[in-house]
Amino acid sequence: MTAEQTVVTYGGAVNAALTRSLDERTETILFGEDVALPGGVFGITKGLQSSFGDRVFDTPISETAILGAAVGAAMMGRRPIVEIMWMDFTLVAMDQLVNQAANVSYLSRGNVKAPMTVRMQQGSQPGACAQHSQCLEALLTHIPGLRVCVPATPQDAYDLLLAAVWCNDPTIVIENRNLYFGKKVTIMVGHDVQEIGGSITRHRGNDVTLVTWGSMVAPSLEAAEILEIEGVTVDVIDARWLNPFDTLAVCESVTRTGRLAVVHEATLTGAFSSQVVAGVVEAGVPLVAPPVRIGSPDTRIPAAPSLLGAVVPNVSTIVEALRRMVTRED
């Protein structure tokens, strides 16, 4: 395949990566609820069944069977790509990820692998109920044996998904439905598939290191722009991969800025941000202000837009928190 440009939405980028995976890796199969004939509830897998026939199929509403079948097929050498429609639904089937997929390589000392990719999307949307709104990445980043990424842009939706499919570990790709239908942008496709891992610094600055991922990348960048006008410059690191996590890049940046903020949509207690903070302070990186974590408070997620607005971080909550951080005297 030759590298070239294309203009796609985030959702379109996912579709392009799936198309390429099915095309180049003939051991891939793709299945999940409503993914084949209807092309997915969000239309992300449209056209794949007509292009790839039986290798793309619909399943019953049986997340345990879906993930378990992926484990079994992967053990036999297939490279399944499955979709769990909402990350909230993995909760009916966590066993297949944690007790099953994550153990395959370790138990067999690498003789058997589970090279499966599990796509899911998470996050809140106005009106979405509490069972369709959670950001649960922390439940998977705590599990040794699983890989986890959270693409935030169309380019990453393409690159990270391909890296996940090519990777021999069970890998979870956490998308976000708020991003699916964003504006079309030009991305590169057809280039070499990347290795898993690696963050990307999307905005450069010297006063604060802001680490973020997924749905909070865009508001964090907006916040950085606003702060820049005020003379506060922010390194905005889009972590992209939570496992493997790019501790090095984060520590390097914090060493320069002396300040660490972590921003995500998940509720705060026990969120992955606590790991990021702990990682930096354990490493002994000197800080000029206490680190700040910006996320949803510890609540269930309400449906009413007015309530939701009081819960999920946004540009102004980020700006305010960073302002407090840089003006604070210690």
Partner 1 sequence: MTESLLDHYRVMWRIRLFEEKTRDLKVRGDVSGSVHLCIGQEAIAAGALGGLNRSVDVVFSTYRGHGYAIASGSDLTALFAEILGRGAGLNGGRGGSAYLSDPDNNFFGENSIVGAGAPHAVGAALAGLFDGSNRVALSAFGDGAMNQGAVHEAMNMAGAFGLPVIFLLENNRYSELTPITAMVGDVELYQRADSYGFEGIQIDGNDPTVVLDAVRSARDRAARGGGPTLIEAMTERLVGHYVGDVQQYRPAGEIDDAKTREPLVISAQKLLVQGFDDVELKSVETQERDRVASAASAALQLPFADPATALEFVYDS
Ligand X SMILES: Cc1ncc(C[n+]2csc(CCOP(=O)(O)OP(=O)(O)O)c2C)c(N)n1
Binding mask 28-67 for ligand X (x = CB under 6 A): -----x---------------------------x-x----
Tokens, residue 274: 């606590």
User: Closest CB to ligand X among 48 and 66?
Assistant: 66
State which of positions 221-250 bind a second copy (CB under 8 A): 243, 245
Task: Find the binder of partner 1 among 19, 42, 72, 255 (CB under 8 A).
Answer: 72
User: Closest CB to ligand X among 92 and 94?
Assistant: 92
Please name the amino acid found at residue 18: L
Please name the amino acid found at residue 277: V
Task: Find the binder of partner 1 among 51, 131, 186, 314 (CB under 8 A).
Answer: 131
User: Per CB under 8 A, does 192 bind partner 1?
Assistant: no
CA–CA separation, 73 and 67 (whole Å): 10
User: Does residue 203 carry a catalytic annotation?
Assistant: no
User: Closest CB to partner 1 among 101 and 318?
Assistant: 101
Strand partners, 5: 188
Q: What residue 142 binds from partner 1, ligand X, a second copy, none (CB within 5 to 8 A, per partner kind)?
A: a second copy
Residues 327 and 295: beta-carbon distance below 8 Å? no
Please name the amino acid found at residue 226: I
State which of positions 16-35 bind ligand X (CB under 6 A): 33
Tell the residue number behind the tokens 């079309």, with chain if given.
Answer: 184
User: Closest CB to ligand X among 98 and 276?
Assistant: 98
Q: What residue 270 binds from partner 1, a second copy, ligand X, none (CB within 5 to 8 A, per partner kind)?
A: a second copy
Q: What residue 204 binds from a second copy, ligand X, partner 1, none (CB within 5 to 8 A, per partner kind)?
A: none
User: Per CB under 8 A, does 321 bind a second copy?
Assistant: no
Binding site for a second copy (CB under 8 A): 64, 88-89, 91-95, 98-99, 102-103, 106-107, 130-131, 134, 136, 138-139, 141-142, 144-145, 243, 245, 266-267, 269-275, 277-279, 281-284, 287, 290-293, 298-300, 302, 330
Binding site for ligand X (CB under 6 A): 33, 61, 63, 85, 89, 92
Q: Which residues are catalytic?
A: 132
